A = this chain, B = another copy of it.
Amino acid sequence: MSTTSAAPGRPRDPEVDRRIARAALDVFGELGWAGFAMEVVAKRAGVGKASLYLRWSSKESLLSDALSTGLVRVSDVDTGTLHGDMVELATQILDLYSGPASRAALRVSLEAGAIPGVAENYEAIRKAQTRAARSIVRRGIARGELPAGTSVTLLLDTLVGGAMVHAMSTPPALAANAADHARQLVDFLMRAVTTP
């Protein structure tokens, strides 16, 4: 984390931190890096510009932190079963790409590479996510829940991509409960990998 430390004796309010992170993702999602400014984020979050500079020394570090906390956390997924892990991962992706941070999530894959200080951080997150997702499948193979020859790539591409496309193409009003749809998606893909 690249946050600056709080002023001595004044504990930071976590609710304000969350509001700022949400506002940062909103502004980045809507306007992109070209329109991303401390002043715009402060206004959106309903806090003073000084509150932002107390926490972050630059807009690069603010966006880096907001992306680290606001995007999917595949690294934390370990329910003990392959089915549970895959449902949890698909649910997170469905929530992300149909929720308020969906535009930021799409935009970061387009623009992160060109933002100094964000590019390296985003690339590190992306690699950690990929490693974490691959180890979900590898643990499933080790526990005997999947055949040894299972294609980790095909299973994860279709799980992640299937959840992403579903969230992006389904109007919110029609979207089923994310966890229900995640289970249907996982059951569908499990037939592909467990059929000889």
Residues of A within 8 A of B (CB): 32, 34-35, 103, 106-107, 109-110, 130, 151, 153-154, 157-158, 160-166, 168-169, 184-185, 188-189, 191-193, 195
Contact = CB atoms under 8 A, between A and B. Distances in A.
Main secondary structure of the interface of A (DSSP, over half): helix
A158 B106 contact: no
A115 to B, nearest CB: 14
A169 B158 CA distance: 13
A170 B47 CA distance: 41
Given A158-B189, A192-B189, A107 B109 contact: no
Contacts of A163: 157, 161
A89 to B, nearest CB: 13
